[in-house]
Structure 1
Amino acid sequence: MSSTHDPAPATPRRRLSRAQRNRQLLDAAWRLIRMEGTEALALGRLAEKAGVTKPVVYDHFGTRAGLLAALYREYDANQTSLMTAALQAGEATLASRAAVIASAYVQCVLSQGREIPGVIAALAGSPELDKIKREYETAFMQACREALSPFAPARKIASAGLWAMLGAAEALSYAAATGAISAAQAQDELFETIVAMVARNA
């Protein structure tokens, strides 16, 4: 005879789809970096934090480099989506487009807090991952060139100017992310940098 103290049968856990599991793992990875730093981002540690077995994590990312690449791709996709939508909705003026680029870059970095600088630093430590980063940087600069070229005196933007703009964007955004300057200061300074860069392309 069954006792009234017998435990109730466990409710079966809902199985996540591959996309849902991937989302769960990426969210856990961002949290892990936020709490413990990029150095702690090992696949085994991620499995522990996400409450899954190691093979699940290895199936999704393969290696630590694969996980870092996935995190960077997500960051870049968010940045690209934000900037593209804002450019399409904004006015076709230099001031509007410079403001959109400055705001999108800074806000996307701030949305990841202090995590993304660590991810980017880790990417730079691997030739394979640095190549991925450079490809996304090139795509970002091309989007900026297309948005800004109509306002340059020569109707084109030199690559050197775009690299300088990107360097300023990274430095200012990370300064804002660490609290060295405010987000408004970062955006204002980047805006002025972009406008000056366009004006120099005579």
Structure 2
Amino acid sequence: MARLSKEDRRQQLLDVALRIVREEGADALTLVSLALRADVSRPVTYEHFGTRPGLLLALYERLERAYVDALREALAAAPRSLSALAALMSSAYFGCLVDAGVEGPALSAALQGSEEMAAQQLAMRDEYVEVMQGELQPLTDLPGDELRLCCIGLLGAAEAMAREQQGGRVDLDAATRAFTTLIERAVERPVG
């Protein structure tokens, strides 16, 4: 059997870790449980992730990275109209939550209070704001700093809608439509 490169081994371990969280919950994921399930020695998991929070954070980063990469790819092919971009951003945001399944919220909850998680969430938010701002800037009269703050507010609203959707208080289509409308109204150019 061929030996995996370090990066291939890391990805394989993250695949297994994701299955553990999906099947048993985040509390079941430890470096030891990962080693047993992936059929590797314990030092291998420690070498790749160092600590349980390091493993949880690496898994969370992977989910976030996949989302931002998919968003960038979809936006590259999108029509350059406000309604099309708003709909795509909204469906991508809520689609990511569906794709992440129970793993995203479970990982986020397991990392609550972690300085590393707070830093990761801020970095990902800033990257997403940058993507949104870059796409929306040509379609609005808002100055850059105002649009940036608007995008931060939009993401805060999306997070609140996501909690409603995940709690079963609103369906996915309604949340997606509402976020699309918010984006459009927040940045649309005044008529006249």
Name the TM-score, length of structure 2 as normaliser: 0.86
1:5-49 Cα offsets, whole Å, 9 max, x none, are xxxxxxxx4433322221221111111111222222211122122
Residue 168 of structure 1, aligned match among 157, 160, 165: 157
Moved over 4 A (4+): 174-180
**Partner residue in 2 for 1:8:** none
Greater displacement, 83-92 / 154-163: 154-163
Which runs of no fewer than 5 residues in structure 2 stay unpaired? Answer: none
Q: Which structure 2 residues correspond to residues 39-78 of structure 1 after superposition, within 5 A?
A: 39-78=27-66
| Aligned twin of 2:87 | 99
Equivalence for 1:4: none
Q: Distance in 1 between matches of 2:89 and 2:45?
A: 35
What corresponds to 2:187 in structure 1? 198
Q: Percent identity?
A: 35
Comparing 111-120 with 153-162, which one deviates more in the overlay?
Answer: 153-162
Distance in 2 of aligned mates of 1:73 and 1:129: 9
1:112 matched to 2:109: no
Tell me: CA distance 1:105–1:49, structure 2 relative to 1, closer, same or farther (3 Å).
Answer: same
Task: Classify the secondary structure of the residue corresponding to 2:111.
Answer: helix
Consecutive unaligned residues of structure 1, counting only runs of 5 or more, are 1-12
Question: For residues 122-180 of structure 1, what are the alpha-carbon distances to aligned partners after superposition, in whole Å with 9 as ceiling and x for unaligned?
Answer: 33321122112211111111111111122223344444422221122233345545655
Change in CA separation of 1:179 and 1:66 when aligned onto 2, cut-off 3 Å: same
Equivalenced residue count is 189
Tell me by how many angstroms 1:55 deviates. Answer: 0.9
TM-score by length of 1: 0.82
Larger radius of gyration: 1
